[in-house]
């Protein structure tokens, strides 16, 4: 598998789903990117959606979650592994390790050896951007087609500081699959990613860069004793029993509403899907799948839950 890094430079604030509408996460997950790409496929209309989905399901293309970068420094999620630090007795260091979410790519090896400068690096990531809220107004249409009273509400947004943003890793097996992915990703940069795109949020430019050599080795390692997931993922029922043996993982509920105008007249919730969080560590690799989380609507609703693995041990 070949890999490229797609580095997103946001031109607007973003709204990435959180616990409530007046909050926003700093990053988006692989299923958000996949769903947005599927919407671009349907919008353009010249590519069969099922063929596009099968390109991912057959592992011709794979995507990681989005991770932060600050200037030239790109970060990876902290693996769910116990690491003995040389400064383990220092209470300040213990607290910093507990709060730590991301590790610079070039310092992953030091982290795994317990030599990570946690206090310094925690401060660096604080420079990523800032949370904010934006007031908006909704005007509901009444049963008699008249407009109701304006209803103000608050939307949580996130703004990246200059020179900072998000990146994700693309895996691809052949140039044709890569070109198909890129065609729809270029279209997506104008539509935006995340929530409240009709308000102009989530627009971006991007650049492609080569994957650092050490990271490429870890991405293509097939003989590791432990792998970390770089995407939300879920083993199939047949895989699950073997995967959870000696695994360190946490589950995350993925839900939300279907954002398709042809699915149902009213807003309908997707079925909840519980997936392994990014950073989960397993001894046995698995394929995962793309799951249909539709319920009563007119077409399938796909949830991406295929892992991208990184060797950590």
CB 219 within 8 A of CB 3: yes
- Output the pLDDT for position 300: 80
CB 205 within 8 A of CB 167: no
- Output the pLDDT for position 264: 58
59: left (phi over 0), alpha (psi -120 to 50) or beta: left
Contacts of 5 (CB under 8 A, 6+ apart): 74, 167, 168, 169, 170, 208, 209, 210, 211
In tens digits, the chain (313 residues) has pLDDT values of 999 999 999 999 999 987 788 889 999 999 999 999 999 998 888 789 999 999 999 999 999 999 999 999 999 999 999 888 777 667 788 888 888 999 999 999 999 999 998 888 876 788 999 999 998 887 665 555 556 677 888 999 999 999 999 999 999 999 999 999 999 999 999 999 998 898 899 999 999 999 999 999 999 998 999 999 999 999 999 999 999 999 999 999 998 766 766 555 566 778 899 999 999 999 999 999 999 888 775 568 899 999 999 999 9
Give the span between the Cα atoms of 100 and 305, in whole angstroms: 25
CA terminus-to-terminus distance, the chain: 20
Which sequence spans correspond to the domains of the chain? 1-71+128-217, 221-313
Whether the CA torsion 116, 117, 122, 124 is positive or negative: it is: negative
Residue 91, classified by CB atoms within 10 Å of its CB into exposed (0-12), middle (13-18) or buried (19+), is: exposed
- Output the pLDDT for position 45: 84
Helix (H) or strand (E) holding 91: helix 91-99
CATH 3.40.50 holds for 1-71+128-217:
no
- Output the pLDDT for position 66: 99
Report the residue count for the chain: 313
- Output the pLDDT for position 252: 96
Collapsed DSSP state (helix, strand, coil) of residue 42: helix
Collapsed DSSP state (helix, strand, coil) of residue 41: helix
């Amino acid at each position: 598998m070949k890999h490229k890094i797609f580095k997103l430079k946001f031109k607007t604030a973003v709204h990435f789903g959180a616990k409530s509408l007046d909050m926003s996460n700093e990053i988006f997950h692989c299923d958000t990117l996949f769903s947005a790409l599927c919407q671009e496929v349907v919008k353009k209309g010249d590519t069969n959606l099922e063929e596009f989905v099968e390109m991912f399901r057959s592992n011709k293309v794979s995507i990681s979650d989005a991770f932060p970068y600050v200037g030239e420094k790109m970060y990876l999620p902290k693996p769910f592994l116990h690491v003995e630090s040389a400064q383990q007795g220092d209470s300040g260091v213990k607290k910093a390790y507990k709060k730590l979410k991301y590790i610079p790519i070039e310092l992953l090896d030091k982290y795994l050896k317990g030599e990570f400068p946690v206090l310094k690096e925690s401060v660096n990531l604080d420079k990523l951007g800032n949370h904010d809220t934006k007031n908006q107004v909704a005007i509901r249409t009444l049963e008699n087609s008249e407009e109701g009273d304006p209803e103000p509400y608050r939307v949580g947004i996130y703004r990246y500081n200059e020179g900072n943003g998000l990146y994700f890793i693309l895996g691809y097996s052949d140039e044709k699959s890569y070109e198909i992915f890129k065609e729809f990703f270029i279209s997506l940069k104008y539509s935006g990613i995340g929530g409240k795109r009709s308000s102009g949020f989530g627009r971006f430019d991007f650049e492609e860069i080569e994957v650092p050599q050490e990271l490429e080795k870890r991405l293509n390692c097939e003989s590791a004793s432990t792998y970390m997931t770089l995407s939300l993922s879920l083993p199939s029922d047949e895989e699950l029993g073997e995967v959870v043996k000696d695994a360190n993982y946490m589950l995350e509920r993925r839900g939300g509403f279907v954002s398709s105008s042809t699915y149902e007249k009213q807003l309908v919730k997707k079925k909840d899907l519980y997936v392994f969080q990014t950073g989960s560590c397993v001894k046995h690799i698995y394929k995962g799948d793309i799951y249909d989380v539709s319920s009563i609507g007119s077409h399938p609703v796909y949830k991406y839950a295929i892992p991208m693995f990184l060797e950590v041990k």
